Structure 1
Amino acid sequence: MVIHTWGFPQTPVIKPPRPVYVTKVACSTDESGNCNTNSRFINGQILKIYYGKGTVTATTTATVTFEGESIDSYNINTGSAHRYPRVDTIAEPFVVSGLINIAVTGGQASKTFDVYVFSR
């Protein structure tokens, strides 16, 4: 007969990380080259922003803001890109709870591109 004893697990039990959510914001500029689009509701840390070039072929700078505070700005014409915005003073990810705004002023007319916001 073998005696079995049950003890504490050898590895610490931790809760799994929260899932990463992706919010797609489709943007299209009007005849003046302007765009002003809001995302769906986002709650959590902004981990990264992916800009998909779409049909843009000239300088078109998209500015991502939350409640008037600039999170990131990027010229879509330079190509698709992954960007990792951080709060300048503390080098931490942005934490938001609400709608994020993507705006373009004076960009190329009648073009489309996508912005993907990764949050946790």
Structure 2
Amino acid sequence: MPESGHAWQKAFKGEPIEAAHVRLWTAGRMLHPDAPLLAHELYVAVLSSGAPVIEMTLSTAGERARITAQGQDPLPLLSTHGPAWRLIAGLSQSAGLTTDERGVWAQLGARP
């Protein structure tokens, strides 16, 4: 039986002030308590690349949730191996770089 879920996508300006909007937007759509902080960290990872627009995608399937932040250009190494990456890895079940290397994603499991 296929898993049902929802998906949301929104473009945010590549400006630090938008991080607060990313957290609020995420909190209004995902019930997992770590989702807003995780979305914030993913947004900031892509923001550090200088992207003028960051596309955020939230998707749910059963007990799982996936958050993706993507810019227009390939991300620098620091975006996926910098200090914030340890926090992203600690909050998620798995995380990584998108196949086109323009974004980062993280997957959350069932609520703790």
How high is the TM-score relative to the length of structure 2?
0.29
Tell me which structure has the larger Cα radius of gyration. Answer: 1
| Greater relative contact order, per chain length (Cα 8 Å cut-off, separation 6+) | 1
- Bigger share in strand: 1
Higher helix share: 2
User: Scaled by the length of structure 1, what TM-score is found?
Assistant: 0.28
